[in-house]
Structure 1
Amino acid sequence: MASLSGYLPYAFALIIAIPFLVLLRQFVHSYITLKNQEIKILSIKSNSENKTHSYERMTLFLERIKPSNLIQKFDKDLETHEFIFLTEKTINEEFEYNSSQQLYITKNSWQHIVDSKLAVIDLLHTTYKGFNNGPNLDEFKTVFIMSYMNGEDYISSTIESLRKEIIIIA
């Protein structure tokens, strides 16, 4: 019995320490779980912000390619073919600059954006081809804007569909 009495203080300390170790383990496990949840929430929030930013950038792109905004660009002393070339170049460059936004935008909306871009470029060329001889720039701009206004407002409908999608996401 004398030999067991030497281990009694260690046994007593072990009995007292075990509940503390169990509580410490539960605390650490709970802390790690909460931190993982926080990281997931921040990741979701960041992804949502990226999506929102993408929709904003593509809406701005669409606004910039509206014919009413395009006709105000560039020098008034340009030839019509120079205006068409510079306008098409600007549209394509800005589209390429924003092309990474398709990662955050639905496939359907991205296709509407591409279709709107191509329709504006096509309208530039068909308007020019509609003249028998080279029009002056003011005549061309007038016919260009009127052709867009008399047709389907595909840019505004694309912006509206983006607006509806961003409401769903947010």
Structure 2
Amino acid sequence: MTNLSEYLPYAFALIIAIPFLVLLRQFVFTYIRLKEQEIKLLTVKSNSGNKTQSYERMTLFMDRIKPSNLIQRFDKELAVHEFIFLTEKSINEEFDYNSSQQLFITKNSWENIVDAKNAIIDLLHKTYEAMNTNITLDEFKTIFIMNYMEGEDYIAKTIDDLRREILIIA
């Protein structure tokens, strides 16, 4: 039988090492848990930033399709039908460019944005259809704005809804 005193230094080292290893393990697991929380927090902040940016971009889009802003686009030398074509094309291109923003905007707000866009395009066409074919572009623009002002201001309503929602999110 071997002498137990030979193993005493090993036993002493083991008794000292076990609490150290337990504390090291606890530290590593706590560190990993904190890093996971940090990643989750950064993800939430990133999503919040995406939502804020989406609301900003769609508010800008709504502002750009206001008739008062639309009539300032393009050359004044255009025929009325050319102005309508270019304006509708511009609205649809900008809308298509921003269509990915619907991922971060509520369904109701997105539907309001789509409805407002379609209403502006419809108003362009209805104004043109109700006009005399010999009308100038300036006269068309004036009547277009007057027709918009006579109806419901759905663009301002949609922008207000977007503002309310972003305040809730932020």
Tell me the TM-score range normalised by the shorter chain.
over 0.9
Q: Amino acid of the residue matched to residue 112 of structure 1?
A: N
1:143 equivalenced with 2:143 (yes/no): yes
Q: Note the C-alpha offset of 1:134.
A: 3.6
Aligned match of 2:154: 154
1:31 equivalenced with 2:4 (yes/no): no
1:65 equivalenced with 2:65 (yes/no): yes
Aligned match of 1:3: 3
What TM-score do you get using the length of structure 2 for normalisation? 0.98
* Residues 136-166 of structure 1: per-residue CA shift (max 9 Å, x gap): 1011000000111111000000000000000
Aligned match of 2:105: 105
Distance 2:103 2:22 in 1: 46
Shift >6 Å, 4+ stretches? none
- Could you tell which deviates more after superposition, 149-158 or 126-135? 126-135
Distance 1:79 1:131 in 2: 13
Distance 1:156 1:19 in 2: 67
Q: Note the C-alpha offset of 1:111.
A: 0.4
Does the residue aligned with 1:133 lie in a helix, a strand or coil? Answer: coil
What TM-score do you get using the length of structure 1 for normalisation? 0.98
Aligned match of 2:85: 85
Distance 1:104 1:95 in 2: 15
Gaps of 5+ in 1: none
Does the residue aligned with 2:53 lie in a helix, a strand or coil? Answer: helix
Gaps of 5+ in 2: none
Distance 2:137 2:54 in 1: 34
* Residues 70-89 of structure 1: per-residue CA shift (max 9 Å, x gap): 00110001000000000000
CA RMSD of aligned residues (A): 0.9
Size of the aligned set, in residue pairs, is: 170
Aligned match of 1:56: 56
Distance 1:58 1:93 in 2: 13
* Residues 47-100 of structure 1: per-residue CA shift (max 9 Å, x gap): 000000000000000000000000011000100000000000000000000001
Does the residue aligned with 1:91 lie in a helix, a strand or coil? Answer: helix
Q: Amino acid of the residue matched to residue 105 of structure 1?
A: I
- Could you tell which deviates more after superposition, 134-143 or 156-165? 134-143
Distance 1:83 1:58 in 2: 23
